[in-house]
């Protein structure tokens, strides 16, 4: 069994066997544990889950969407489909159309998700003190992160945050993966430690693992580092009760060898990656396992 996937599968098994049954916001109900951590050595293969098929293009397009700083679900459709708009839904469509969001009447246009992840990454509102008044200006956390990694790799302040308490009410969904800290070792390997407050372990977490592994690789390339570790700490790690049988099916499967990530080495600007610059080599997996997302 492949070590990185074994960590994830063991966490599923542990939650099923030891988790507590809880009510939740969606009304579906969960089996939950608090405070789980997964570790992946990115130098030993890309941690794409193989015991069910990973929606790879959805992972890549969403991360590029975050990096672009967009909060528009229609823009995500364009990125996913080669900068052409499509009527096909994305993983964010249900959130963009959910009644708990649309009834707030905060959408500027259909597809608007408010000030979610990418908006916070690229346009965090920063107070600027002027004479006798305070005005707001945009603060680009992502470009600051890249500059900091290059200029002061030993800093303990390489942090990217999506959790903005003052703006949670103007987001279609408060961020689940809230914060990431990056660390450059003495042998110039870039590692990432991400904290996720709420983790749908079956449906969402394989996606999150792949996304932050990809992000770490991209940052390493543009900053001229090798890759180190990906560490993910979960707060409320849960399995929805309508996913239990599907989890058991996944646990019955044997993992394949991990694939290799291929990036276009000509890209040296974190904002310049496209769908065509990113691929997985030799990704083998079992069939996908379809499941409903709790909204």
What are the structural domains, with CATH classification, of the chain? Answer: 3-281 (3.30.572.10)
What pLDDT shows up at residue 135? Answer: 79
Report the C-alpha gap between 106 and 46 in whole angstroms: 39
Q: Are strands 189-200 and 226-240 parallel, antiparallel or unpaired?
A: parallel
Q: Which ranges of 138-243 does DSSP label H, i.e. alpha helix?
A: 141-151, 205-223
Contact status, residue 123 vs residue 72, Cβ threshold 8 Å: no
Residue 195's φ and ψ, nearest 5 degrees, are -110, 130
* Count of H-run helices and E-run strands, the chain: 9, 10
pLDDT digits (tens, 9 = 90+) for 85-126: 889 999 999 999 999 999 999 999 999 999 999 999 999 998
Of 15-29, 124-138, 203-217, 261-275, the least confident: 124-138
Mean pLDDT of 219-245: 98
Mean pLDDT of 159-187: 97
Report the C-alpha gap between 54 and 58 in whole angstroms: 9
What pLDDT shows up at residue 133? Answer: 78
What pLDDT shows up at residue 38? Answer: 97
What pLDDT shows up at residue 23? Answer: 93
If pLDDT is split at 50, 70 and 90, which confidence band does 132 have? confident
pLDDT exceeds 50 at position 54? yes
Mean pLDDT of 242-258: 97
User: Rounded to the nearest 10 degrees, what angle do helices 3-18 and 244-251 cross at?
Assistant: 140
Nearest to 175 by CA among 165, 185, 189: 165
Nearest to 25 by CA among 176, 149, 151, 165: 176
pLDDT digits (tens, 9 = 90+) for 65-75: 999 999 999 99
pLDDT exceeds 90 at position 127? no
pLDDT exceeds 50 at position 150? yes
What pLDDT shows up at residue 292? Answer: 83
What pLDDT shows up at residue 187? Answer: 97
176 included as an active-site residue: yes
What pLDDT shows up at residue 293? Answer: 79
Report the C-alpha gap between 261 and 294 in whole angstroms: 30
pLDDT exceeds 50 at position 9? yes
Name, in order, each residue with C-beta under 8 angstroms of 97's C-beta and a sequence gap of 6 or more. Answer: none
If pLDDT is split at 50, 70 and 90, which confidence band does 1 have? very low
Q: Over the Cα atoms of the chain, what is R_g?
A: 19
User: Rounded to the nearest 10 degrees, what angle do helices 141-151 and 205-223 cross at?
Assistant: 50
If pLDDT is split at 50, 70 and 90, which confidence band does 271 have? very high
Nearest to 252 by CA among 45, 18, 52: 52
From the list 38, 49, 59, 176, the catalytic residue is 176
If pLDDT is split at 50, 70 and 90, which confidence band does 286 have? very high
Name, in order, each residue with C-beta under 8 angstroms of 201's C-beta and a sequence gap of 6 or more. Answer: 11, 12, 15, 234, 237, 238, 239, 247
Q: Which ranges of the chain does DSSP label H, i.e. alpha helix?
A: 3-18, 56-68, 73-80, 93-97, 99-102, 117-123, 141-151, 205-223, 244-251
What pLDDT shows up at residue 83? Answer: 87
What pLDDT shows up at residue 134? Answer: 74
What pLDDT shows up at residue 278? Answer: 98
If pLDDT is split at 50, 70 and 90, which confidence band does 11 have? very high
Report the C-alpha gap between 288 and 138 in whole angstroms: 40
């Amino acid at each position: 069994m492949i070590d990185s996937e074994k960590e994830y599968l063991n966490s599923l098994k542990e939650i099923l066997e030891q988790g507590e049954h809880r009510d939740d916001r969606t009304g579906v109900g969960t089996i939950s544990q608090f405070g789980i951590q997964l570790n992946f050595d990115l130098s030993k293969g890309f941690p794409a889950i193989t015991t069910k098929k990973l929606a790879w293009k959805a992972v890549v397009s969403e991360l590029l969407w975050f990096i672009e700083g967009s909060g528009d679900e229609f823009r995500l459709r364009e990125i996913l489909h080669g900068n052409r708009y499509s009527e096909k839904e994305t993983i964010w469509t249900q959130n963009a159309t959910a009644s708990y969001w649309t009834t707030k009447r905060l959408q500027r246009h259909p597809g608007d998700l408010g000030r979610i992840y990418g908006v916070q990454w690229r346009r965090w509102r920063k107070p600027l003190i002027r004479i006798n008044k305070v005005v707001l200006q945009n603060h680009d956390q992502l470009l600051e992160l890249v500059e900091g990694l290059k200029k002061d790799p030993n800093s303990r302040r390489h942090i990217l945050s999506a959790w903005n308490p003052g703006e949670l009410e103007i987001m279609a969904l408060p961020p689940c993966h809230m914060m990431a800290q990056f660390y450059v070792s003495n042998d110039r390997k870039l590692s990432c430690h991400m904290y996720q407050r709420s983790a749908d372990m079956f449906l969402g977490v394989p996606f999150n693992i792949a996304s932050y592994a990809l992000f770490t690789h991209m940052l390493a390339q543009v900053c001229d580092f090798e890759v180190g570790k990906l560490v993910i700490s979960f707060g409320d790690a849960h399995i929805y009760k309508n996913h239990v049988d599907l989890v058991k099916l996944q646990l019955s499967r044997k993992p394949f060898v991990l694939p290799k990530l291929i990036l276009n080495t000509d890209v040296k600007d974190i904002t310049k990656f496209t769908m065509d610059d990113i691929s997985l080599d030799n990704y083998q997996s079992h069939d996908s396992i379809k499941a409903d997302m709790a909204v």
